[in-house]
Amino acid sequence: MATSDTPTSRRAVIISPNSPLVSELEPLLAVPLAGTPLSRLQSYPSPRDLPSLVGGGILNIVFLDTSSDPEQALQLLGEMSRMGAQVQVVALLGGNDPDFILRCLRAGASDFLIQPFTPEEVKAALGKLARVQPVPEAIGKDSAKVISVMPAKGACGATTLASNLAFQWKRVGGKRVLLVDLDTNRVGRWKVRLVVNRYLRDVGLSREVIGTALHTEVFETLPSDYEGVQKALMDGKPIPASSTFGKGIVQLVDRLGGKAQPTTKKASSLSGLLGLFSKTSK
């Protein structure tokens, strides 16, 4: 008969570009994580790649280096916390900074370890994870989500985006979808996903150029489709999923739902800028 002590299928990963930190931590995990596959990522992954790295419907224990690049680590923490109970994150810190520890916990860390690591502290952290470990039936199941569409400026299409996101979630089988017009309270930067609306590829600005200019990675782009959007508004109907804008909404819903996306070759920031200059000089 299965009991609550029966281990859930799990894997562990260390995300850190800091080789000395990894060399210090790995031996301390050998005994408490015996039988659990342990891998290492030597660079911080893109939020776009997280579902394929720590998804898969099993429990993931992530040891995240928050010292090498604190802001990027906090962003990843926020992304992983939205993936649900299947991801438990232990923040790895280089020093005892109470304010930063609080930021990590608020961003979604289950616990933290401070260098120099000790066997006792590692054991205690893993024990805490085990106590809050979800039951096997909960792994991989979707939990309720709150998606706030925040306009960067007036008349940028936030209402159109929010209403059509709600319709698309209902199309793909969402059991309960509630669309509410509310003012958003302060949101941590690591929780923000940048969506560029009315995006025109032939202007010459690539996603990378936009992200560099705004110091935020572009999460998704929605194509400019003025005629399609206006027709749907005049008809009083949601934008068809087969339209240019509708296809963008479908892809955005997939991304927000954690569905892995096919990788595409990225254009360099330099080529994007050169393309813009060549078009404006004509």
pLDDT tens across 44-64, in order?
998 888 888 876 667 789 999
Q: What is the model's pLDDT at position 129?
A: 87
Asked if 125 contacts 113 with a C-beta cutoff of 8 angstroms, the reply is yes
Does 2 fall in a domain? no
For residues 32 and 130, give the distance between their C-alpha atoms in angstroms, rounded to a whole number. 11
Burial of 134 (0-12, 13-18, 19+ CB in 10 A): middle
- Rg over alpha carbons for the chain, rounded to the nearest Å, is 21
Higher pLDDT, 263 or 131: 131
For the chain, what is the mean pLDDT? 81
- Are residues 121 and 227 both part of a single domain? no
- Are residues 17 and 134 both part of a single domain? yes
| pTM for the whole structure | 0.53
**264 DSSP 8-state letter:** -
Query: Between the CA of residue 37 and those of 11, 31, 223, 238, what are the distances in Å?
Result: 5, 12, 41, 46
270 sits in which H/E element: helix 269-280
Share of the chain above pLDDT 90, in %: 36
- Are residues 18 and 134 both part of a single domain? yes
Confidence of residue 186 (pLDDT cuts 50, 70, 90): low
Which of 68, 103, 138 is the endpoint of a domain?
138
Residue indicated by tokens 């099993």: 58
Which of 92, 109, 138 is the endpoint of a domain?
138
Q: What mean pLDDT is predicted for residues 176-200?
A: 79
Find, among 211, 271, 200, 187, the residue nearest to 47 by Cα. 211
Does 53 fall in a domain? yes
- Are residues 255 and 162 both part of a single domain? yes
- Are residues 229 and 121 both part of a single domain? no
- pLDDT > 70? residue 18: yes
- Are residues 47 and 166 both part of a single domain? no
Find, among 13, 106, 109, the residue nearest to 61 by Cα. 13
Which stretches of the chain are assigned E, i.e. beta strand? 10-15, 38-41, 59-65, 87-93, 111-114, 194-199, 218-223
Does 252 fall in a domain? yes
Q: Which residue range is the domain that position 83 belongs to? A: 10-138
Overall residue count recorded for the chain in this entry: 282
Does 168 fall in a domain? yes
- Are residues 169 and 123 both part of a single domain? no
Number of domains the chain contains? 2
Share of the chain above pLDDT 70, in %: 80
Q: What is the model's pLDDT at position 213?
A: 87
- Are residues 64 and 16 both part of a single domain? yes
Does 264 fall in a domain? yes
Find, among 272, 270, 278, the residue nearest to 207 by Cα. 272
Does 88 fall in a domain? yes
- pLDDT > 90? residue 14: yes
Q: What is the model's pLDDT at position 123?
A: 93
CATH number at residue 89: 3.40.50.2300
Asked if 111 contacts 134 with a C-beta cutoff of 8 angstroms, the reply is no
- Are residues 134 and 16 both part of a single domain? yes
- Are residues 91 and 190 both part of a single domain? no
- pLDDT > 60? residue 267: no
Query: Between the CA of residue 205 and those of 196, 266, 274, what are the distances in Å?
Result: 11, 12, 9
- Are residues 183 and 261 both part of a single domain? yes
Does 150 fall in a domain? no
Q: What is the model's pLDDT at position 40?
A: 93
User: What is the three-class DSSP state of 132?
Assistant: coil
One DSSP character per residue, 200-255 reads: -GGGS--HHHHHHHHTS-EEEEEE--HHHHHHHHHHTSPPPTTSHHHHHHHHHHHH
- pLDDT > 60? residue 173: yes
Q: What is the model's pLDDT at position 4?
A: 35
- pLDDT > 70? residue 202: yes
Does 114 fall in a domain? yes
For residues 25 and 12, give the distance between their C-alpha atoms in angstroms, rounded to a whole number. 13
Which of 89, 108, 138 is the endpoint of a domain?
138
Q: What is the model's pLDDT at position 190?
A: 61
Find, among 15, 102, 28, the residue nearest to 62 by Cα. 15
- Are residues 116 and 25 both part of a single domain? yes
